[in-house]
Structure 1
């Protein structure tokens, strides 16, 4: 029986269970999901009733890379925020395998998680740090003239940073980072583009009522399909009833995991505090195949955040302090610190191609005997890899028209 992780990991929210590699894998995936939920709650705080999306994968990747260069208190604070440390060889080996699997895009799907480290020309780097970064999640180092006035704005266009269910949607996303005095810049991209395993028919889309978070009702373009889906009905620790639906993408490379209150009078603000990694994992394992009428609104959400205040509230303080940051592992020198942490996320969900709102209420009556999942009120969504539970993005839809 392998030993528990070293004492250096005492900051973990809960310990990895004893046992073989499968127990370690489950423990790490729960930690990853826990990070996603903490990030979602922290970033969404104060914006109740609005559309929202954030990519935990795009936020955790730069923090993992910074761990390779962080030492002392800075390293401990990063481990506390992530819930794990990449310095543990078992954690490193597991994440190597997960990130390698994500790079293997299948036919009809594009999936990539990557990070580019832009380095000021002439900045010395530790060979060990360079090797670790170059092996991490399709990451790379690239020389750049960051200190020149003309290079004050860095534009990274390595991926679309969008999640799209139809071909031809999305496009390049441009991250702008102020770098007038920078020596290093970390830019992460998360790309996922695919079609549904069973596509929504554009001729079945129609205008249907959606009750928004504020209580008023709008007519919104609602997609429809009748299909075999993974479905379940559960209740959270406070007794709130929810419906959970999983819609797979082509070849099951990912799925859209939807959490919908059964009662239209239950706001998402009552559900969100009770969502935990273990609850999500439990629900996902208890879904059952069912033939259903599925109604899902088209939606498009884009958010941008400065993550400094979130990380500071989590105890990551030294990283942003030029006098306290300890990133000597990057080059063996003092002076490196993080001045800004900007995150931009976008999600777009649609049936493929141009839609035609041509269906009538007769369609609903004809299929009324089949169980119905109708997302006609605010819901929470996860874009995740179904075999591992790895969360690409998490968000909520409060008003599909915004």
Structure 2
């Protein structure tokens, strides 16, 4: 399993440097984001829930705490209610508000145990979570936020709080391999170490899936060279969302499968117990995008548009978004917003 894991990771990220160099790069890259004091709050942690009685090697726990920002929490998987163990693993300093927008997102490392996967047969479970909140380089004014129509996938329209500002942004127009046109807008966060990219179908009748399914790594990379600085009127809905999913169907597709196999798993560098294997790996992501506040006063779109002759970028229909680290190009979050007004927990 150790050979399989290392081989899969090398295949995925094309590692050509020695392992220590790569680990140090990732460590410092993540530390830079966590330590950014310029209005960026990024929480990226892992929690390893281990069945009580399973002995872990001290070298592993020390290495995990220092490099991977991982905490190891003892748990009794036979208990039906995991909330006591959850509190042990939950060290969140600044929680986001509750609620979620209708959509899906994914991201990359404060872990919360869920009764969904809690069971007496489990030996070990890895829970990976990322939470993010950022202040814009140029903030949206609350007084410019107004309730404007947002077209849902079924064609109906609802009113949602739509943020607005006239500003200079990075903007580009692109086509997928199937010739669907879409536009990309990039807004920097304070300090310009992170940015938000929004991909919007150019035609309202074009389903978001037509853009999403055609995006490739090469097309995402082309955004870097295809974006141009321009003055625009930007309309972007407030949204926040939360999602969690099981990685058991994802990791095998990436070449990591033995870890979940009780007979093939080899965690001899984690524990001397031969029966140890990964029962589940869950991932949770939360994100909130606002003007950097909770209050919004009414304003009129007609007045705003009359004050400017700049091109308009209006995310008034389903769109994709990415939050990326500028200096490395790493994508921290990628998701879709289908209904910003859906606050179903």
Partner Cα distance (1:178, 1:81) in 2:
30
| Cα RMSD (Å) | 3.1
Match of 2:160 among 220, 226, 235: 220
The one of 269, 273, 278 aligned to 1:338: 278
Which has the larger displacement, 75-84 or 97-106? 75-84
Instruction: Sort the Cα spacing of 1:115 and 1:146 in 2 relative to 1 into closer, same or farther, 3 A.
Output: same
Rounded to whole Å, the distance in 1 between the matches of 2:335 and 2:130 is 15
Partner residue of 2:107? none
Mapping of residues 164-203 of structure 1, within 5 Å = 169=97, 174-176=112-114, 178=118, 180=120, 182-203=122-143
**In the superposition, relative to structure 1, how do residues 357 and 149 fare at CA in structure 2: closer, same or farther (>3 Å)?**
same
Shift of 1:257: 0.8
User: 1:291, 1:249 → 2: CA distance?
Assistant: 17
| Matches for 1:2-401 after TM superposition, within 5 Å | 70-73=1-4, 76=7, 88-120=19-51, 123-141=54-72, 144-146=74-76, 149=79, 152-153=82-83, 154-155=85-86, 156-159=89-92, 169=97, 174-176=112-114, 178=118, 180=120, 182-401=122-341
**Secondary structure of the structure 2 residue equivalent to 1:186:** strand
Q: Distance in 2 between matches of 1:383 and 1:389?
A: 10
When residues 353 and 82 of structure 1 are mapped into structure 2, their CA distance, relative to the original with a 3 A threshold, is: same
Alignment deviations for residues 3-26 of structure 1 (CA, whole Å, 9 cap, x no partner): xxxxxxxxxxxxxxxxxxxxxxxx
Change in CA separation of 1:361 and 1:118 when aligned onto 2, cut-off 3 Å: closer
Q: Which residue of 1 aligns with 2:105?
A: none
- Per-residue deviation at 1:283? 0.6
- The alignment partner of 1:158 has SS state of coil
Report if the CA contact (8 A) 1:158-1:189 is conserved: no
Kept in 1, the 8 Å contact 2:248–2:281? The answer is yes
- Cα separation, partners in 2 of 1:78 and 1:203, compared to 1, 3 Å: same
Tell me what 1:17 maps to: none
Aligned equivalents of 2:60, 2:18: Cα separation in 1: 12
Contact preservation (8 Å) 1:77, 1:317: no
Can you give the 5+ residue segments of structure 1 that lack an aligned partner in the other structure?
Answer: 1-69
**CA pair 115-91 structure 1, distance change in 2 beyond 3 A:** same
Q: Alpha-carbon deviation of 1:170?
A: 5.8
SS of aligned partner of 2:339? coil
Q: Is contact 1:86-1:92 (8 Å) kept?
A: no
CA 324–244 in structure 1, closer or farther in 2 if over 3 Å, else same = same
What TM-score results when the alignment is normalised by the length of structure 1? Answer: 0.71
1:341 is paired with a residue whose SS is: strand
1:301 and 1:346 in contact (8 A); partners too: yes
* Number of equivalent positions: 327
**Aligned counterparts of 2:184 and 2:18: Cα–Cα separation in 1:** 36
Q: Aligned partners of 1:264, 1:161: CA distance in 2, in Å?
A: 37
CA contact (8 A) 2:132 2:288 kept: no
Query: Residue 98 of structure 1 aligns to a residue in which SS?
Result: helix
